[in-house]
C-alpha cells in the first residue's frame, strides 16, 4: 500500500507515537487518542517496535504466507491428452487420481470444458449464386423508435435514453415509451440488389406482405425470384409463410440454428445500412428516419460501390449478368 511519508499514520507518525509511549512515558491511551487511533492499534505498533525496531513500523505485505500451488504443467498435459480421447472429467480424475473439481477447473482454463470443443473447426464456406434471383436473403433488424424529444442513444448517450424512453404506468411499472421499429431487408445473392422497408412488427402476415413486395421489386428489374433464405423466426416457420412461398413458386431455405453467418449477406447489409442510414444522421422522429430509407436504398443499388463486386454498384452487376437496362441510369 502506498502511503505518504509524512502521513499521521505512516511510519513516521507511528514512530512518534511509540517514542511518546516508551521515551516520554505518556500513557498508551493518551498517545493513541493524540494519534487518532485506537488503543489496540497503538499497542500493536508499540509491540512491533519492541520486537523489530524501526523495521516493525513499516506496513507488512498482505500476501498470504502460503499460496496454493497450481496444477503442475505435466498434469495439465496429461489431462488435455485424456480429454482428447473424449474422456469425461470424472473419468480423467479417476485415472489420474485427482479431484474432479481440479480436473474441471483445468479443462475450463485450457478451453476444453466442453467435449464439443474437440471437434475440428467448421470451415468457412463462401458462396455466390450465378443467376440473379436464384436466391434472395431476408432478415429483420429491430430499431428503437425515436422518442418525443428527438434523436436517441447514439447521439445523446445511453443515460439519456434510459431517462426519456421509459415511463411509469399506473401500476408503478416502468415501460418503454417509444417501442421498436422492424427494418425488413432483402438482398439478392448474385447481384446484391437490395430492398428494405420499415414495418411495425415481424408477424407472419407482415413478413408475407414484405416478401410479395420484394418479389415485385425484383420483377421490375427483370429478376425472377427462385429461392429464399431466412432464419428460423416464428413468422418464417409458419404454415402461412410456407403456403405463400409455394404459391409464388419460391423454394424456402432456413439457416442452421445458431448460425447467423449462413445468412451472412443479409447480416452484412444490415450492418452497412445501420452505419450509413440509421445512425448516419440525427433524425427528429422515427417517420423522418423511415422516409430517408428509400433514398439510401436507391443510392446503395445505383451508386454505392460494393467491395465484393469489384467496387461496382449492384445495378452494374445486374446488367452484366442479365443485360437488363430497365433499372435506370448508372452514374
Beta strand 180-188 with 136-144 is antiparallel
Tell me the C-alpha distance between 230 and 252, whole Å.
8
Q: What pLDDT sits at residue 309? A: 86
Q: 284, 145 in Cβ contact below 8 A?
A: no
Q: Collapsing DSSP states into helix, strand and coil, what is residue 226?
A: coil
**DSSP conformation class of 168:** E
- Grid coordinates representing 261 are 453467418
Helix (H) or strand (E) holding 252: strand 251-254
pTM beyond 0.75: no
**DSSP conformation class of 123:** P
Q: Tens of pLDDT along 54-80?
A: 888 888 887 777 766 678 889 999 999
Enumerate residues 6+ apart whose C-beta is below 8 A from 215: 225, 248, 250
Q: Tens of pLDDT along 132-185?
A: 999 999 999 999 888 766 666 666 665 655 555 555 556 665 555 568 899 999
- Grid coordinates representing 214 are 420484394
Q: Tens of pLDDT along 79-110?
A: 999 988 888 889 999 999 999 999 999 999 88
Amino acid at each position: 500500500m502506498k502511503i505518504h511519508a509524512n502521513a499521521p499514520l505512516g511510519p513516521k507518525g507511528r514512530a512518534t507515537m511509540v517514542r511518546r509511549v516508551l521515551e516520554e512515558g505518556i500513557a498508551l491511551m493518551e498517545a493513541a487518542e493524540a494519534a487518532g487511533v485506537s488503543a489496540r492499534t497503538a499497542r500493536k505498533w508499540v509491540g512491533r517496535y519492541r520486537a523489530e525496531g524501526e523495521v516493525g513500523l513499516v506496513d507488512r505485505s498482505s500476501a498470504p504466507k502460503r499460496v496454493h500451488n497450481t496444477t503442475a504443467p505435466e498434469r495439465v498435459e496429461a489431462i488435455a491428452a485424456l480429454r482428447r480421447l473424449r474422456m469425461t472429467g470424472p473419468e480423467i480424475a479417476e485415472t489420474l487420481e485427482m479431484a474432479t473439481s481440479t480436473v474441471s477447473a483445468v479443462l475450463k482454463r485450457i478451453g476444453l470444458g466442453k467435449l464439443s470443443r474437440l471437434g475440428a473447426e467448421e470451415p468457412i464456406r463462401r458462396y455466390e449464386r450465378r443467376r440473379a434471383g436464384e436466391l434472395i436473403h431476408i432478415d429483420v433488424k429491430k430499431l428503437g423508435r425515436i422518442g418525443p424529444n428527438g434523436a436517441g442513444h447514439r447521439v445523446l448517450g445511453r443515460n439519456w435514453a434510459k431517462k426519456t424512453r421509459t415511463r411509469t404506468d399506473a401500476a408503478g411499472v416502468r415501460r418503454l415509451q417509444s417501442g421498436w421499429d422492424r427494418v425488413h431487408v432483402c438482398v439478392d445473392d448474385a447481384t446484391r440488389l437490395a430492398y428494405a422497408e420499415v414495418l411495425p412488427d415481424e408477424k407472419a402476415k407482415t413478413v408475407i406482405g414484405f416478401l410479395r413486395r420484394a418479389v415485385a421489386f425484383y420483377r421490375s428489374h427483370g429478376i425472377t425470384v427462385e429461392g429464399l433464405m431466412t432464419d428460423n423466426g416464428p413468422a418464417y416457420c409458419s404454415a402461412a409463410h410456407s403456403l405463400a412461398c409455394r404459391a409464388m413458386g419460391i423454394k424456402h431455405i432456413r439457416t442452421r440454428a445458431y448460425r447467423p453467418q449462413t445468412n451472412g449477406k443479409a447480416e452484412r447489409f444490415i450492418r452497412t445500412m445501420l452505419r450509413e442510414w440509421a445512425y448516419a444522421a440525427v433524425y427528429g422522429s422515427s417517420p423522418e428516419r423511415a422516409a430517408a430509407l428509400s433514398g439510401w436504398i436507391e443510392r446503395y443499388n445505383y451508386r454505392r460501390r460494393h467491395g465484393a463486386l469489384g467496387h461496382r454498384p449492384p445495378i452494374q452487376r445486374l446488367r452484366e449478368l442479365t443485360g437488363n437496362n430497365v433499372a435506370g441510369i448508372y452514374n
